[in-house]
Homo-oligomer: A and B are copies of this chain.
Amino acid sequence: MKRLQMFGLLNKDMEILEKELYRSVQGDDPLLTETSLHLLKAGGKRLRPVFVLMGGKFGTYDLDKLKRIAVPLELIHSASLVHDDVIDDADTRRGEPTVKAKWDDKIAMYTGDYIYAKALAITAELPNPRIHQILSKAMVEMTIGEMEQIRDFFNSGQSVRHYLRRIRRKTALLIAISCQLGALAADAELEKAGLLYKYGYNVGMAFQIRDDLLDLRGTEKQIGKPPGSDMRQGNITLPVIYTLEDDRLRGALLDELEQIREGRAGAGRAIDIILSGDGISRAEELASRYIDKALAALDKLPNNRTKGNLRDIAYFVTGRAY
Contacts and interface: CB of A to CB of B under 8 A. Distances in A.
A133 interface: yes
B110 A83 contact: yes
A254 interface: no
Contacts of A118: 140
Contacts of A139: 117, 120-121
Interface string A127-146: 10100110111011011101
A265 interface: no
Instruction: Count the copies.
Output: 2
Interface stretch (A15-23, A24-32, A58-66, A178-186): A24-32
Contacts of A140: 28, 114, 117-118, 121
Interface residues of A, number: 42
A106 B86 contact: yes
Contacts of A112: 113
A230 interface: no
Given A32-B147, A144-B29, A136 B109 contact: no
Interface of A: 28-29, 31-32, 83, 86-87, 105-107, 109-114, 116-118, 120-121, 123-127, 129, 132-133, 135-137, 139-140, 142-144, 146-148, 150-151
